[in-house]
Structure 1
Amino acid sequence: MRSILALTTALLLSSSALAQQLGWTNIKGYGFAADGQLVQFQQLLIDTDSGKVLARGDAIKQDFPDAVWQDGQGKAILPGLIDGHGHILGLGQNLMQVELRGTQSEQEAVERVAAFAAQHPEQQWILGRGWNQVLWDNNEFPSTALLDEAVSDRPVWLSRIDGHAGWANSKALELAGITKDTLDPPGGRILRDEQGNPTGVLLNNARQYIGAVLPEPNEAEVLQALEAAFAELLSLGITSVHDAGIDSSLARLYQRLRAENALPLRIYAMLSARNSDLQDWLDQGIIDDELDLLLIRAVKLYGDGALGSRGAALLADYSDQPEHRGLLVTEPDRLTAQMQATIQAGFQANVHAIGDRANRMVLDRFEQLASNEQLALGRHRMEHAQIVSPQDIPRFKALHVLPSMQAVHATSDMNMAGDRLGVARLRGAYAWRTFVDQSSPIVGGSDFPVELANPFHGLHASVTRQDQQNQPVGGWLPEQRLTLTEALRSFTRDAAYGAFQDERLGSLAPGMWADFIVLEQDPFAIPPEQLWQLEVLQTWLASNKVFHRE
């Protein structure tokens, strides 16, 4: 971690070596006003001593003659982007594992695993992520057979793209003690063949069998993964991440890195409700930071699974699997107790809910557990809110519950959502426009490493409802598209609102932290279908340049 520590310390001290006031002219600047309206400006002035924005406008240079001004050469400047739902350590670890995203068949996935295993003979376990059987030629879950042919001497464990299912070889099943006689755990399922033998795919809570025997990474490995993730995120223009569901050891490590001035971006951390010592954290109270580099005041709770693996909890049967309605991964009474403890401690309750049954269940509990005033102050969130009964969508506004949604999930899921749900239930699916029209701020994000961390992919999906091949023509459920202004707000000001930071982050307004990014192209001046191709030239955090593209 030495490089991150050295980098961050240097950046924090760099203001003493620079002019106190730095300004840009001839830029295409965008920010937000206090009412959420888009503000455009041609000049921006920052203070390197305080790390904050001093002024923005079209003719402010004359008012600050002692500042050092530079020509922005017509480049675009946006507020630093905020990913409202990601997994930093998971991203870093994913960057060092087998990448299975984009495979077109089980055979192709296995070939990647075999190649990785051959290149890394020192690794005791072969780990990977990103497979999606919906995109494969046979559209079926994989099995141990091909994996065993490729790697039989070491355990293999491969997470599905949504993280709610895993694929193991026989060696991994053996180490985990999974046999024909192993029972499905509550909230989980072991897929089996006609003879009842495990096929190698474990859904939701059944993954815990493998988790129990996976070697824990040591601190050096964790720090290496974090460093890789931080570098990746800054290169994408992400200056703040809402880290969704961290364990106690990672929370303590973040605290240590913050004390060492070794956090190069902002982290809004959600404690996992699965932490055995959660109550101790709640009793300790909110962990704040005057520099807004680390804030711990939220708990990530877990309602159901994911749609792709048919784990999302639905009110009616899956259209493509009769008599199956998904899984609740937390027993309802336990979820109630966790939500109650979180709310009573003054923490924000952010509940994973994808299916319409899970969303309704969580909304019911918010209504039962807190007064309207408590709900308004708590800014509690529904993480994903993908499939919501149309009659429940207004309840988000009435109960002050924020939809925390990841736009790329829609374009990733559109090839199977209709099969899973049928036409009628799609009216409440990925319903961004409906939420925005009722004035529910959307906390935008990507859910990396489930999806790629690139926020411009999310902006593109929000505006077009298309994949990067411009399909389907006209967009999928196009009535739910957002404008570019609305989409950008979800990744900046509204995401900051979802972290109680909207008065300090996300708008690039005077008095706020000078977190911003520089782009070669103006996103408001290019065709929407090109948004996903935008690249960040520079990333600035609190008036310090933390990334520069060579």
Structure 2
Amino acid sequence: MKRKITKITTFILLLSFTTSAISQCLVINNIKGYTPVANKPSLEQFNWLAFESGKVIGRSDTLPTIPSSCQQIDGQGKTLLPGLIDAHGHIAGLGQEMSRANLRGTQSEQQAVERVVEFARHNTKSAWILGRGWNQVLWSERQFPNKRSLDKTGIKRPILLTRVDGHAAWANSQALKLAGINHQTPDPEGGKIVRDKNGKPTGVLIDNAIGLVVNKIPAPSKIEREYAFDKAFAHLLSLGIVSVHDAGINQADIDSYQERSHKHQLPIRIYGMLSGADRHLKQWLNQGIIKDDNDFLSIRSVKLYADGALGSRGAALLAPYSDDKDNKGLLVTQPDELQNLVNLILSKGFQVNIHAIGDRGNRLVLDTFETAFKQVGGKALRNRIEHAQVVSLKDIPRFKTLDIIASMQPVHATSDKNMAGDRLGIARLKGAYAWQKFIQQGTIIAAGSDFPVELANPFHGLHAAITRKDHSNQPEGGWLPYDKMTRYQAIKSFTLNAAYAAHQENTLGSLEAGKWADFILIDQNILKVSADQIWQTRVLQTWVGGQLKYQAKPTNAN
């Protein structure tokens, strides 16, 4: 007779697994399990999963019976999926945002200012007031904010508030003064100081101009940095995310990750992209790839930038913005410099991952890769374009020809749908957020969220990929619905495809024998429920390497 374990006993047993490696064979049964499998056109289904020493040893569809030596855990009929992988996020940024003024969802410039005032009142010891999340597209006035509204608060500290996409920032006069920004300050290359009709800075800075102020902000202490990481890790695990491709890490991040890795204290898996703008880049490349034996830390790629973002009109376009006829966006990295960087990185055996949002930005990156492959090779390194949001229909086939992975964030489509048409016009939308066009030609899509630009919740991404609707399930039928993903395609993009994009498909991304036992239990079957409900999915448990890392609190506890 199969051993039954009560709900309370199960909870106590699982908690004991969080402190050390589990060598005992465990089976979680009474589940509705699903996993992608390489070269299979649909998800494999199973009702129990066996794992030992952190790795899968079999499932109900691959083993005849549960091994007699395994201890059984009742999954209580819940749905089990591979742990989800976010192929593009910013962990330090997420942790910092959780400790700063949150301007996400504000409906006006004045409401954003009120939140800043409230944050300043509760954080009297902060030398700077920092925040993130404003989006003028959601404000009734739909205009960039101005330093005047911040100056009128009477706050006697420098203020810098980053737009939701990270490609624009809003500063008060004190912050501008500390950075030496005035009406005579020239725009930096790849950046813009927004000015009024008299040529005076308004307080809004675009792309590389943000650095003029950021460079004046004191670096966080080690304690502050580790606290931010801890908050981010806990949040990600609560969302069912077991691995993150951290897009643009610096030396402090590397030091923290390596220290945690050596002490076996990384709670999630990190695939680090080195910041290509960092002065340490050549040193890092010469030191070679970093990888631990348990796949918790892997650093073998570099993050570069081609252009800015669509919301701040910094994405580089082939033709002017439809709502700004004199503006074609910005190239954050100039073509010659980008070519030299790509050649250098590929020659050292590192993968190149380049941010490109506009159609000109994407074409520049494709041209750069094509030239680099001829000059130094590196086509097999699984190079990626991060975002690939707006691509000329002529350029989409080049992703396949050049073996470029499209690292895309489905939530960007549903966040941008209210302004993308204004920025681009109807014709260019045909190559925007074009997931199904990429998939049908055989291009791999690795999905993520770009947190903290967007919320990190991967079920928001799955919902957006499958429905192309917002959380009010609008518009009816989905926005540009011809590029929706199927449920299978969406789940694969957040699991096996994301693992492939990190050279990790042999150990991560699916629940196959010999792979790490990274899985989640969720409160509804996202293969069966109405697609409109997928974004509401709640994670009950998150397991990484056969260990329980997150347990949701009971919702009906007595």
After TM superposition, which residue ranges in structure 1, 4 or more long, deviate above 6 angstroms? Answer: 7-10
Which one of 110, 116, 119 corresponds to residue 107 of structure 1?
Answer: 110
Deviation at 1:71, TM superposition (A): 2.6
Match of 1:70 in 2: 73
Instruction: Report the Cα distance in structure 1 between the residues aligned to 2:472 and 2:528, rounded to whole angstroms.
Output: 20
**What amino acid maps onto 2:452 in structure 1?**
P
Deviation at 1:36, TM superposition (A): 4.3
Q: Secondary structure at the match of 1:40?
A: strand
Deviation at 1:291, TM superposition (A): 0.4
Farther off after superposition, 365-374 or 213-222: 365-374
Match of 1:381 in 2: 384
Instruction: Report the Cα distance in structure 2 between the residues aligned to 1:118 and 1:302, rounded to whole angstroms.
Output: 37
Q: Is the 8 A contact 2:249 2:272 kept in 1?
A: yes
Match of 1:35 in 2: 39
Q: Secondary structure at the match of 2:110?
A: helix
Which one of 18, 25, 47 corresponds to residue 21 of structure 1?
Answer: 25
Which one of 521, 527, 531 corresponds to residue 528 of structure 1?
Answer: 531
1:178 aligns with 2:185: no
Q: Secondary structure at the match of 1:413?
A: helix
**What amino acid maps onto 2:35 in structure 1?**
G
Match of 1:413 in 2: 416
**What amino acid maps onto 2:22 in structure 1?**
S
- Note closer, same or farther for the CA distance 1:154–1:10 as it changes in structure 2 (3 Å cut): farther
**What amino acid maps onto 2:47 in structure 1?**
Q
- Which aligned pairs between 1:208-219 and structure 2 lie closer than 5 A? 208-219=211-222
1:260 aligns with 2:263: yes
Give deviations 1:423-479, integer Å, cap 9, x for gaps.
000010000010011111101000000000000000000001010011111111000
1:92 aligns with 2:99: no
Q: Is the 8 A contact 1:191 1:201 kept in 2?
A: yes
Q: Is the 8 A contact 1:152 1:171 kept in 2?
A: no
**What amino acid maps onto 1:417 in structure 2?**
A
Which one of 196, 201, 208 corresponds to residue 198 of structure 1?
Answer: 201
Q: Is the 8 A contact 1:356 1:389 kept in 2?
A: yes
Which one of 313, 316, 321 corresponds to residue 316 of structure 2?
Answer: 313
Instruction: Report the Cα distance in structure 1 between the residues aligned to 2:33 and 2:376, rounded to whole angstroms.
Output: 37
Give deviations 1:113-132, integer Å, cap 9, x for gaps.
11111111111111100000
**What amino acid maps onto 1:130 in structure 2?**
G
Which one of 119, 127, 130 corresponds to residue 127 of structure 1?
Answer: 130
Q: Is the 8 A contact 1:404 1:443 kept in 2?
A: yes
Q: Is the 8 A contact 1:375 1:399 kept in 2?
A: no
Which one of 448, 451, 454 corresponds to residue 451 of structure 1?
Answer: 454
Q: Is the 8 A contact 1:315 1:356 kept in 2?
A: yes
- Note closer, same or farther for the CA distance 1:22–1:10 as it changes in structure 2 (3 Å cut): closer
Instruction: Report the Cα distance in structure 2 between the residues aligned to 1:256 and 1:62, rounded to whole angstroms.
Output: 41
Deviation at 1:11, TM superposition (A): 3.6
Q: Is the 8 A contact 1:375 1:401 kept in 2?
A: no
Farther off after superposition, 349-358 or 55-64: 55-64
1:324 aligns with 2:324: no
Instruction: Report the Cα distance in structure 2 between the residues aligned to 1:250 and 1:521, rounded to whole angstroms.
Output: 36
Deviation at 1:549, TM superposition (A): 0.5
Instruction: Report the Cα distance in structure 2 between the residues aligned to 1:36 and 1:222, rounded to whole angstroms.
Output: 42
**What amino acid maps onto 2:499 in structure 1?**
A
1:46 aligns with 2:51: yes
Q: Secondary structure at the match of 1:83?
A: strand
Which one of 346, 350, 359 corresponds to residue 349 of structure 2?
Answer: 346
**What amino acid maps onto 1:32 in structure 2?**
P
1:333 aligns with 2:336: yes
Match of 2:9 in 1: none
Give deviations 1:82-109, integer Å, cap 9, x for gaps.
0000000000000011111111100110
**What amino acid maps onto 1:44 in structure 2?**
L
Instruction: Report the Cα distance in structure 2 between the residues aligned to 1:436 and 1:180, rounded to whole angstroms.
Output: 48
**What amino acid maps onto 2:271 in structure 1?**
Y
Instruction: Report the Cα distance in structure 2 between the residues aligned to 1:240 and 1:59, rounded to whole angstroms.
Output: 26
How big is the alpha-carbon RMSD for the aligned residues of Structure 1 and Structure 2? Answer: 1.7
Which one of 296, 300, 305 corresponds to residue 302 of structure 1?
Answer: 305
Q: Is the 8 A contact 2:27 2:66 kept in 1?
A: no
1:165 aligns with 2:172: no
Deviation at 1:57, TM superposition (A): 2.1
- Note closer, same or farther for the CA distance 1:344–1:546 as it changes in structure 2 (3 Å cut): same
Match of 1:440 in 2: 443
Instruction: Report the Cα distance in structure 1 between the residues aligned to 2:163 and 2:306, rounded to whole angstroms.
Output: 19
Instruction: Report the Cα distance in structure 1 between the residues aligned to 2:376 and 2:484, rounded to whole angstroms.
Output: 32
Match of 1:3 in 2: none
Give deviations 1:305-364, integer Å, cap 9, x for gaps.
000000000001111111210000112111111100111000000000000001001101
Deviation at 1:511, TM superposition (A): 1.0
Q: Is the 8 A contact 2:343 2:376 kept in 1?
A: no
- Which runs of 5 or more residues in structure 2 are unaligned? 1-13, 554-558
Q: Secondary structure at the match of 1:13?
A: coil
Farther off after superposition, 279-288 or 399-408: 279-288
Instruction: Report the Cα distance in structure 2 between the residues aligned to 1:10 and 1:276, rounded to whole angstroms.
Output: 42
Which one of 394, 400, 403 corresponds to residue 400 of structure 1?
Answer: 403
Match of 2:493 in 1: 490
**What amino acid maps onto 1:143 in structure 2?**
N
Q: Is the 8 A contact 2:15 2:548 kept in 1?
A: no
Instruction: Report the Cα distance in structure 2 between the residues aligned to 1:196 and 1:489, rounded to whole angstroms.
Output: 50
Farther off after superposition, 26-35 or 338-347: 26-35
Deviation at 1:490, TM superposition (A): 0.5
Q: Secondary structure at the match of 2:22?
A: helix
Instruction: Report the Cα distance in structure 2 between the residues aligned to 1:310 and 1:62, rounded to whole angstroms.
Output: 58
Instruction: Report the Cα distance in structure 2 between the residues aligned to 1:8 and 1:537, rounded to whole angstroms.
Output: 13
TM value normalised by structure 2: 0.94
Q: Is the 8 A contact 1:246 1:269 kept in 2?
A: yes
Q: Is the 8 A contact 1:152 1:169 kept in 2?
A: no
**What amino acid maps onto 2:34 in structure 1?**
Y
Instruction: Report the Cα distance in structure 2 between the residues aligned to 1:161 and 1:445, rounded to whole angstroms.
Output: 16
Which one of 484, 503, 514 corresponds to residue 511 of structure 1?
Answer: 514
**What amino acid maps onto 1:518 in structure 2?**
L
Match of 1:4 in 2: none
Instruction: Report the Cα distance in structure 1 between the residues aligned to 2:84 and 2:467, rounded to whole angstroms.
Output: 19
Q: Secondary structure at the match of 2:315?
A: coil
Q: Percent identity?
A: 54
Q: Is the 8 A contact 2:50 2:66 kept in 1?
A: no
Q: Is the 8 A contact 2:182 2:200 kept in 1?
A: yes
